[in-house]
Amino acid sequence: MLFKRFEPCVLFLVLLAVTTTATAMEPVKLAPEGRGFVLSPSGERFVPWGHNYASVDLMERLAADPARVEREFAEMRAAGTTVARVHPEMPRFFKGPGEIDERAIKQLEQLLAIAEKSGVRLMITGLACYQINDRMEWYDSMSEEDRWKTQAQFWETIARTCAESPAVFAYDLVNEPGAVGPAAEGWYLGRMGDVEFCQRLSLDAKGRSGDEIFAAWTKQMVEAIREHDKERLVTMGMLPFPGAYKVAAEQLDFVSPHLYPKTGKVAEEIELLKRFDWGKPIVIGETFPLSCGADDLRAFLLQSRPHAQGWIGHWPDESPVKLRELKKTGEATIHNAIWLSWVELFEEVGPEMTRVGE
């Protein structure tokens, strides 16, 4: 991006416009017909279109280089992003059982300020314990009852901190949970290197069905949030198994499946998406050319428009400017090329994906 020199009076007007835009950010509500989202009080249609950001190191990045976070939010906004799904890791919020670390709250407040300034709203994913080496032994040794209470305390802390910020689009209760699993396997699953992205809600069904576990757990988490924030929307990051989550969805404001289409199987992925239609808005909380190329993902995104009301991919750790430089010089790796293909696809189809009134 090229920057021109502004005369002082012009620069003042630009800064004034940015400040006015940030302070005028409106909260997001469900649309009256329940099939999408609007800004309140204007009633303008809102389309979640964005990225998962800094999935495993958000708090570390905020602590070490807040200027980077601010810069990357500005880059995301310039690319057309309206929502960033963020994953503040749970171990950062606790000093010990029942003891919240105030430094994490300050960092969260800092993130809210960055989001408000950039115009990118946050979808805050909770209970992340992704980094295996950073987990809290005291937490993982708790009984299910105490573990759920600790999880509720986390959400009370988040909701209390965020309740007044229009930058929060939604609270995402947990990433890709399973209802129950063998105690010998522990709370976590979905391992990729040094991280595990999924977790179980229970290690002992005690005669309960998966539906009963999901219903009770979701109720407890939603009540913890609503004690402090009655307005922000609530969802859950769902694996591509709709049958597992239908009961939980009854207590959510919208549904958020994670869908990665495979090469040549776009139609099958659309049919899977349709199975998450439970009369509530659908925001695809994760998608990416992970198992297909950009052409198939483009087709999936465009064909999903009659069924979904929002889409969230992944933002690269490398700046898009850097990725384009690497491509130009012939130094881009396959990994770089995949990330750039997503960013370029995002920018290409963004205007059509976010167009309203159709």
**Model confidence over 53-95: pLDDT tens digits?**
999 999 999 999 999 999 999 999 999 999 999 999 999 999 9
Domain 48-353: give its CATH code: 3.20.20.80
Which DSSP helix (H) or strand (E) runs through 227?
none
Lookup result for tokens 């597992």: 244
Query: What region does 296 belong to: left with phi over 0, alpha with psi -120 to 50, or beta?
Result: alpha
pLDDT for residue 14: 36
Whether 167 and 27 have beta carbons less than 8 Å apart is answered as no
Question: pLDDT tier at 3 (50, 70, 90 boundaries)?
Answer: very low
Q: What is the β-pairing status of strands 121-125 and 177-180?
A: unpaired
Total Cβ atoms within 10 A of residue 177: 24
Mean pLDDT of 248-272: 98
Q: Which two tokens stand for residue 279?
A: 């009369």
| pLDDT band, residue 33 (cuts 50/70/90) | confident
Per residue in 288-312, pLDDT (tens digit) is 999 999 999 999 999 999 999 999 9
Residue 249 Cα distances to 64, 120, 219, 220, 234, angstroms: 37, 26, 11, 14, 10
> For all residues of the chain together, what is the average pLDDT?
93
Q: Tell me, what's the pLDDT at 356?
A: 74
The predicted model gives 334-339 an average pLDDT of: 97
pLDDT in tens, 170-192: 999 999 999 999 999 999 999 99
Please determine, for residue 15, whether its predicted confidence score (pLDDT) is greater than 60: no
- The pLDDT-based confidence of 340 (bands split at 50, 70, 90) is very high
What 8-state DSSP symbol labels residue 165?
Answer: -
325's CB contacts (< 8 A; 6+ apart) are: none
pTM here?
Answer: 0.92
The pLDDT of residue 191 is 94
Q: Which amino acid is at 307?
A: H
Do strands 99-100 and 94-96 pair parallel, antiparallel, or not at all (unpaired)?
antiparallel
Q: How confident is the model at residue 357 (pLDDT cuts 50, 70, 90)?
A: low
3-class secondary structure, 239: coil
- Whether the per-residue pLDDT at 16 is higher than 60: the answer is no
- Positive or negative, the CA dihedral 24, 111, 95, 90 is positive
Return the bridge partners of 84, or none. 51, 122
Q: Tell me the per-residue pLDDT of 281-290, one tens digit each, with 9 for 90 and over.
A: 999 999 999 9
- Residue 42: the pLDDT is 96
